[in-house]
Amino acid sequence: MAKFETVYPGNLRTEITHLQSGNTLITDAPADNHGKGDYFSPTDLLAAALGSCILTIMGIAARTHGFSIDGTSMETTKIMGSNPRRVEELIIKITFPHNRYSQKELKILETSARECPVANSLHPDLKRTVSFIFKED
């Protein structure tokens, strides 16, 4: 169980505190929805949470099976829809630092990327496009 405290100080901004660690973050309404866009928006956090979850679960799977994904990076693009305003699509490009993974390791990575807890918590109508890019050695 995790607990957070969220405070609204005004100006379409929130301050969120992770109560266990004391870490805080700020959200801001996006510029296209009456805000300044100075910080992550709540929907940005949704997209970032999915990306962070995917990399974390892939890291756990890699460690469990004796290989590494250290240096892997991800670019996430969030596309908003309207009526109702919502995240319509997340485009995720995962770039691995090399292309020396075995077929078994690739299957482990693919499976873990699609089965992270955040992905399993999202509505099935949210389109998710995930691509794997392997840097040439």
Same domain flag for 25 and 46: no
Report which DSSP code applies to 65.
Answer: T
If one counts every other C-beta atom within 10 angstroms of the C-beta of residue 67, the result is 16
Residue 85 has pLDDT above 80, yes or no: yes
Same domain flag for 17 and 66: no
Contact (Cβ atoms closer than 8 angstroms) between residue 84 and residue 43: no
The share of the chain scoring above pLDDT 70, in percent, equals 100
Task: Specify the 3-state DSSP secondary structure of 117.
Answer: helix
Q: pLDDT: is 27 or 136 the higher one?
A: 27
CATH of the domain at 70: 3.30.300.20
Same domain flag for 87 and 121: yes
Specify the pTM. 0.90
Residue 137 has pLDDT above 80, yes or no: no
Contact (Cβ atoms closer than 8 angstroms) between residue 87 and residue 120: no
What does the mean pLDDT of the chain come to?
95
* Residue ranges making up the domain that contains 10: 4-33
Using H for helix, E for strand and C for coil, what is the string for 19-78?
A: CCCCCEEEEECCHHHCCCCCCCCHHHHHHHHHHHHHHHHHHHHHHHCCCCCCCCEEEEEE
Same domain flag for 28 and 51: no
Same domain flag for 75 and 107: yes
Closest CA to 76 of 46, 114, 100: 46
User: Using one digit for the tens of pLDDT, what is the confidence trace for 106-124?
Assistant: 999 999 998 899 999 999 9
Residue 130 has pLDDT above 80, yes or no: yes
Same domain flag for 19 and 49: no
Same domain flag for 25 and 75: no
Closest CA to 120 of 50, 66, 18: 50
Residue 95 has pLDDT above 90, yes or no: yes
Number of domains, the chain: 2
The identity of residue 51, as a single letter, is G
Same domain flag for 16 and 49: no
Same domain flag for 79 and 125: yes
Same domain flag for 52 and 72: yes
User: Using one digit for the tens of pLDDT, what is the confidence trace for 37-84?
Assistant: 999 999 999 999 999 999 999 999 999 999 999 999 999 999 999 999
Contact (Cβ atoms closer than 8 angstroms) between residue 76 and residue 47: yes
Residue 136 has pLDDT above 90, yes or no: no
pLDDT confidence band for 89 (50 / 70 / 90): very high
Distance, CA of 19 to CA of 40 (rounded, Å): 20
